[in-house]
Amino acid sequence: MEFKQELETGILKQIGNTETELKIRDVASKCRLLKTENGLKVELSYTGPNASKYLQYVEKHREELTNYLQHPDDADLYEWMEESHQTSLTLKKHEKEKLIIYVNYDPETMVLKTGIADENVTMKLGTPLMKINIKNMTRNEFKLAIFDMLLLADEIAIAMDNPELKKMANIEMVKVYLKEIYDKFHEGTPDF
């Protein structure tokens, strides 16, 4: 979103595209895969408002949409890549880096955030892997969130071909550390 400031009033006015950007999940829900002589084809079956915008998205992201529709379990990876402005090519650039999964927890708000960082705990790749408020979560909801986050980290590590991150996504330490945070703020809960 871009803004310009008017000289006389000092008011900021939005310029350019005023509509929110489309997300892969929204577009994919209006598409289907067709088998043709030349392979698979993404067909948009939407004719409602902003149909041309959907069509432009399909044209620009045909490969991602095809993969998304073929592998619905990878939806989190594609959404994370979209939010962090990553592609399979930009992820490959991090192949040799020593990356870790970092955990940031604010005891006052009870918001827990995880992400990918380098050895200096500088966040990499822009978007968190997980951001949750553990205040009202049950133990099972919390365990499922951790599992989903580790699956996402593993998928990112595979896309990067980064062995260091792959190790981090599979280690028991992450689960134990997050469990300790949960237990500290939910006294008297049974073990994982």
Q: What is the pLDDT along the chain (192 residues), one digit of tens a residue?
A: 455 556 666 666 555 443 457 888 888 888 888 888 888 888 888 888 888 898 998 998 888 888 888 887 778 888 888 888 888 888 888 888 888 888 888 888 989 899 888 877 777 777 889 999 988 888 889 888 888 888 899 889 988 898 888 887 776 767 777 778 788 777 654 444
Side chain identity, residue 126:
G
Axis-axis angle for helices 75-83, 62-70 (nearest 10): 150
Structural contact between residues 114 and 130, judged by C-beta atoms closer than 8 angstroms: yes
d(C-alpha 34, C-alpha 150), whole Å: 33
Q: How far from chain centre, in Å, is Cα 172?
A: 22
Residue 17 pLDDT? 46
Looking at residue 18, its pLDDT comes to 39
The amino acid occupying position 24 is I
pTM reported for the whole predicted model = 0.67
Show the beta-strand stretches assigned E in 46-171: 100-106, 111-117, 123-124, 130-133
Q: What is the structure's pLDDT at 10?
A: 63
**pLDDT given for residue 3 in this prediction:** 53
Q: What pLDDT is recorded for position 71?
A: 82
How many helices (H) and strands (E) in the chain? 8, 8
What pLDDT score was predicted for residue 185?
A: 75
Sequence spans of domains, the chain: 2-70, 96-185
**E strand spans, the chain:** 2-5, 12-15, 31-36, 39-44, 100-106, 111-117, 123-124, 130-133
CA 109 to chain centre: 22
Q: Is 160 in contact with 91 (CB distance < 8 Å)?
A: yes
What was the pLDDT predicted at 171?
A: 67
Q: Residue 14 — φ and ψ, nearest 5°?
A: -75, 135
